[in-house]
Amino acid sequence: MRRTLIALAVTLLTAAPLSAQIAPPMDSLELGRKASDWFFHGQSDSLWAHMADTTEWTSKTEFVDGLKSSLAQLVSRAGFEEKILKEEFVKRHGQTQYWRTGQYTTMDDPIMIRWVIVGGRLAGFGMNPASQAPERDPS
């Protein structure tokens, strides 16, 4: 019995604290910001690693190709994000979305980047001119 207690005490004293063993989950604002940054920098692996299992993409290749195409389209039409004008969470189709509206270098109308966040994971993506924002769920 005494050996068991000593072994338990040694294990508890030498083990890393729980906070060091398990990374806390990202909050939705942090995830939305990081997802936007990963998108702007073409870091599709980071985005893929945070995608929900229920996403519309059937393969990583399809996902990466779609993101590259979206980024190329954004840069060719609007340029690069110069300033974040607004960040907000909205409900659309019953799901939480992070909407990031920014001013871009070659387009007067701000652009909105939208991430669907379900259970702390990314479940969808969209972008549009801010003047063409999709409808939100009624409050």
Mapped onto helix, strand or coil, the DSSP state of residue 16 is coil
Residue 65 identity: D
Domain residue ranges in the chain: 26-132
Whether 22 shows a pLDDT value over 90: the answer reads: no
Looking at residue 130, the DSSP 8-state letter turns out to be G
pLDDT of residue 54: 66
CATH number of the domain at 26-132, please? 3.10.450.50
Chain-centroid distance, C-alpha 1:
50
The 8-class DSSP code of residue 5 comes to: H
The per-residue pLDDT for range 41-88, each reduced to its tens digit, is 999 889 989 988 766 667 888 888 888 899 999 999 999 999 999 999
pTM > 0.85: yes or no: no
List, in sequence order, every beta strand (DSSP E) within 9-63. Answer: none
Cα–Cα dist 11/46, whole Å = 35
